[in-house]
């Protein structure tokens, strides 16, 4: 029999007791748990399902007294030291550790840095961390909600009852925290937030949560992201060389949910671990240097392709838990592939469980829709000028690079961030403090992000999808730039695709679309993107853009275009399916047309892309000076009457130069004289009309030899046969 203790010196006042029971007490840790009252320790506990409650101590079981005015609230004198609680009701008993006997976890440095907006590794303080604290194993929850009156963590461990685990407010930082013992890996949870007006918000997912439930469920999930045994140290030590602008970079862009599906299992997408074998082996065999994934942070709507994320710190559960995503990254590194993630700091969706009005106020977003709402996407815009929000975003960029060994981030929709009038009519936007249209706060955020990640993580790269002429996007911050490593060349993509869609008989009138890009090709560190955006929303496929009365003509145009692209200055990016000339538009709810990929003309395109990647990586002249004017020289830019283009590519001293010649008419041109930058033999390193690719096999019998006949301003030249609708790449035999 348990010893019946004397009652507490005085029960909690009725008004405070009711506040606890109703979940509206401002400081529950000041009331609940063990507290000294005079010379004794009194434990106050709230368990609304219990008829009786006792404390299990080292000295035995000590009953607690029910509060006379409030059901579920119990108090009693308890010996000092650790204890557990035991509840009883309806013939059932349960026992558990009391969350209110544990002290805070966050330290003063965390508080200071969070308040200052300079906590670079915010995820180490906020979120849900499985840990040991004061001798107990459990999960520490912490969330920023500065305008809340009360914040509780809720889940199945407390019957989703916000009265059971109201959190501790940490000073003026706006952070709330609690350590809940015996809650661990895989437990769903949300935050119940009472706003300053006393009204409850919809249950909120954790902004810094590391996991989430499978959509359409919306809870966060406790994930222990510690303890992964990385084995990619060799890659990490050497990757800086692979990400430099002087290195070959050829990117395979992938939407993981639709690359390949398991139709024998209901059409599910590949898991991270399956992709670690199938996708990684495929991309490596194709000769790509990097995989780029459309956003893999958690998002509620499949149709957003990940570009409307809710869980910026959570790898989507659609393919597996966080450690399995690490398995994918590590497998890519083992095969010599870098991993780039699309990252979305420009906007977020309005879903009730997300960041919108998170604590009952416009916390993450602007209050004024002229600053805070994107009509194009029906999404909200972060308040980039708020220090805590900027910290949240910059830390998130660092999180993916550090915790998951990701090699780069491609930042989506940068133009929408840079301009306050982006996609807005007059009167629908607010000028900056100088009366201009530039979003100064977003510019500062992007610069801070790039300075942070390049400064903290050696060897990574960042890429901007920026569609305007904003200056110095890929120049260092200290030189006045935004600090990105690379920028997508959207102008090149738009101009060249528009040219290629035209019937060859009309191309002479649009010759400048293929040459214009060279006027600015070296103003930024450019990537040439044929991305997912070019195969959606009724645009069809890249192959579908190609003209021709026959399939052979359409494929010949595509092959010639790819040869032009791989020979052109700039790094390369190709969206999945385009490497084998998929005919239909990309569908995120299906997978690639792998049946078509095996058909002869499609297989020929795939062989061509593989060979282009191999030649590109093996020929320094084609990549070493991609971003320097000294790596390029026109040979023939004005042959609009015959739609022929020719140029030379140069690497460092001692690198054999290359010459690229493209013929965009269906006419074979024999004895076309081409000036060459060096005497000697030039091997035909690649011919897009080769029979192996599905072409007519017209060419130059392995190469040409320069003769001392001046042409195109050069001292030597050669007569070259130009196949119809084809690109040649000649490399000097040095």
- How many Å apart are CA 324 and CA 314, to the nearest integer? 12
Is 465 catalytic? The answer is: yes
Dihedral of CA atoms 254, 256, 258, 264 in degrees, nearest 10, equals 140
Give the Cα-Cα-Cα angle 248, 253, 259 (nearest 5 degrees): 135
Distance between CA atoms of residues 64 and 76, nearest Å: 5
With a CB cutoff of 8 Å and minimum separation 6, the contacts of 680 are 705, 706, 732, 733, 734
CA distance 226 to 177: 20
**Pairwise CA distance, residues 584 & 41, whole Å:** 73
Q: How far is CA 10 from the centre of its chain?
A: 56
How far is Cα 515 from Cα 265, in angstroms, rounded to an integer? 49
Sign of dihedral through CA atoms 316, 317, 321, 325? Answer: negative
Task: State the helix-helix crossing angle for 551-567 and 490-500, rounded to 10 degrees.
Answer: 150
**Cα distance between residue 308 and residue 413, in whole Å:** 12
> Of these residues, 206, 365, 465, 611, which one is catalytic?
465
Q: Are 128 and 190 in contact (CB under 8 A)?
A: no
* Cβ(7)–Cβ(76) below 8 Å: yes
Residue 612 CA to residue 687 CA, distance in Å, equals 10
Query: Can you tell me whether residue 629 is helix, strand or coil?
Result: helix
Rounded CA gap, 291 and 203, in Å? Answer: 36
CA atoms within 13 A on the CB side of 446: 36
- Listing DSSP states for 270-304 in one string gives PPHHHHHHHHHHHHHHTT-SEEEESP-EE-S-GGG
Helix (H, G, I), strand (E, B) or coil at 143: strand
Of 305, 320, 213, 337, residue with least CA distance to 274? 320
The answer to whether the beta carbons of residues 605 and 668 sit under 8 Å apart is no
DSSP class per residue in 237-275: HHHHHHTSTTS--EEEEE-HHHHSEEGGGTTEEPPHHHH
Assign residue 240 a region (left: φ > 0; alpha: ψ between -120 and 50; beta: otherwise): alpha
Which residues make beta-bridge pairs with 131? 138
Which one from 47, 110, 412, 441 is the annotated catalytic residue? 412
DSSP letter (8 states) at residue 29:
G
Own/partner long-range contacts of 644-649 (Cβ < 8 Å, ≥24 apart)? 644/669, 644/672, 644/722, 645/514, 645/515, 645/564, 646/674, 646/712, 647/567, 648/676, 648/677, 649/567, 649/569, 649/621, 649/622, 649/625
Which positions ≥6 away from 565 have C-beta within 8 Å? Answer: 496, 528, 530, 572
Instruction: Give the span between the Cα atoms of 14 and 20, in whole angstroms.
Output: 10
Asked whether 293 and 256 are in contact (CB, 8 A), the reply is yes
Q: Is 636 a catalytic residue?
A: no
Whole-Å CA distances, 183 to 82, 168, 435: 18, 18, 52
Closest CA to 465 of 498, 490, 440: 490
Query: What is each CA distance from 427 to 369, 420, 486, in whole angstroms?
Result: 12, 11, 34
Active site residue ranges = 412, 465
């Amino acid at each position: 029999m348990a010893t019946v203790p004397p009652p507490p010196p005085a029960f909690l006042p009725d008004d405070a007791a009711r506040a606890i029971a109703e979940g509206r007490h401002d400081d529950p840790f000041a009331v609940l748990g063990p507290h000294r009252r005079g010379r004794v320790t009194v434990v106050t506990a709230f368990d609304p399902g219990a008829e009786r409650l006792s404390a299990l101590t080292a000295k035995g079981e000590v009953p607690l007294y029910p509060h006379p005015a409030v059901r579920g609230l119990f108090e009693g004198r308890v010996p000092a030291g650790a204890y557990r609680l035991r509840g009883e009701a309806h013939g059932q008993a349960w026992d558990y550790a009391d969350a209110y006997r544990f002290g805070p976890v966050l330290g003063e440095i965390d508080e200071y840095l969070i308040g200052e907006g300079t906590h670079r590794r915010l995820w180490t303080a906020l979120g849900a961390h499985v840990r040991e604290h004061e001798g107990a194993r459990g999960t520490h929850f912490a969330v920023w909600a500065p305008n809340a009156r009360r914040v509780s963590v809720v889940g199945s461990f407390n019957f989703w009852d916000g009265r059971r685990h109201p959190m501790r407010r940490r000073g003026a930082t706006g952070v709330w925290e609690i350590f809940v013992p015996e809650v661990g890996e895989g437990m769903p949870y949300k935050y119940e937030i009472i706003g300053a007006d006393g009204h409850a918000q919809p249950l909120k997912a954790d902004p810094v949560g590391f996991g989430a439930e499978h959509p359409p469920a919306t809870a966060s999930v406790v994930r222990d992201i510690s303890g992964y045994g990385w084995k990619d140290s060799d890659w990490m030590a050497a990757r800086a060389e692979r990400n430099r602008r002087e290195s070959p970079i050829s990117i395979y862009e992938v939407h993981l949910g639709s690359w390949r599906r398991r139709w024998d299992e209901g059409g599910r997408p590949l898991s991270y671990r399956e992709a670690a074998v199938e996708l990684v082996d495929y991309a490596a065999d194709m000769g790509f240097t990097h995989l780029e994934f459309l956003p893999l942070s958690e998002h509620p709507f499949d149709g957003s392709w990940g570009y409307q994320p809710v869980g910026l710190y959570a790898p989507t559960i659609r393919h597996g838990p966080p450690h399995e995503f690490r398995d994918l990254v590590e497998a890519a590194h083992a095969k010599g592939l870098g991993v780039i993630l699309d990252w979305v700091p420009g906007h977020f969706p309005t879903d009730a469980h997300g960041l919108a009005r998170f604590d009952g106020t416009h916390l993450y977003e602007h209050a004024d829709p002229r600053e805070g709402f994107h009509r194009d996407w029906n999404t909200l815009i972060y308040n980039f000028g708020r220090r805590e929000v900027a910290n949240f975003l910059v830390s998130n960029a660092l999180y993916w690079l550090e915790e998951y060994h990701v090699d780069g981030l491609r930042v989506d929709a940068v133009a929408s961030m840079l301009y306050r009038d982006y996609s807005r009519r007059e009167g629908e936007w607010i000028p900056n403090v100088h009366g201009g249209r530039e979003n100064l706060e977003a510019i500062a955020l992007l610069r801070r992000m790039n300075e942070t990640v390049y400064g903290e993580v050696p060897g990574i790269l960042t890429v901007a999808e920026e569609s305007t002429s904003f200056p110095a996007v890929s120049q260092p911050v200290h030189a006045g730039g935004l600090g990105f490593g690379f920028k997508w060349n959207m102008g090149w993509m738009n101009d060249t695709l528009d040219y290629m869609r035209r019937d060859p008989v009309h191309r002479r009138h649009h010759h400048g679309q293929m040459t214009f890009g060279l006027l600015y090709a070296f103003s930024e560190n450019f990537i040439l993107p044929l991305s997912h955006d070019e195969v959606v929303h009724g645009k069809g496929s890249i192959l579908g853009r190609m003209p021709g009365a026959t399939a052979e003509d359409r494929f010949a145009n595509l092959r010639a275009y790819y040869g032009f692209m791989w020979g052109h200055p700039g790094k390369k990016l190709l969206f999945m399916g385009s490497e084998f000339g998929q005919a239909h538009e990309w569908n995120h709810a299906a997978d690639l047309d792998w049946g078509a990929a095996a058909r002869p003309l499609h297989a020929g395109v795939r062989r061509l892309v593989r060979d282009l990647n191999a030649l590109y990586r093996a020929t320094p002249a084609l990549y070493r000076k991609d971003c320097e004017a000294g790596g390029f020289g026109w040979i023939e830019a004005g042959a609009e009457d015959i739609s022929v283009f020719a140029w030379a590519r140069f690497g460092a001293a001692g690198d054999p130069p290359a010459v690229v010649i493209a013929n965009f008419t269906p006419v074979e041109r024999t004895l076309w004289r081409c000036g060459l930058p060096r005497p000697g033999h030039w091997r035909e390193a690649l011919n897009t009309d080769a029979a192996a690719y599905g072409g007519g096999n017209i060419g130059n019998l392995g190469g040409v030899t320069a003769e001392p006949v001046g042409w195109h301003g050069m001292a030597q030249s050669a007569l070259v046969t130009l196949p119809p609708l084809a690109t040649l790449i000649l490399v000097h035999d040095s």
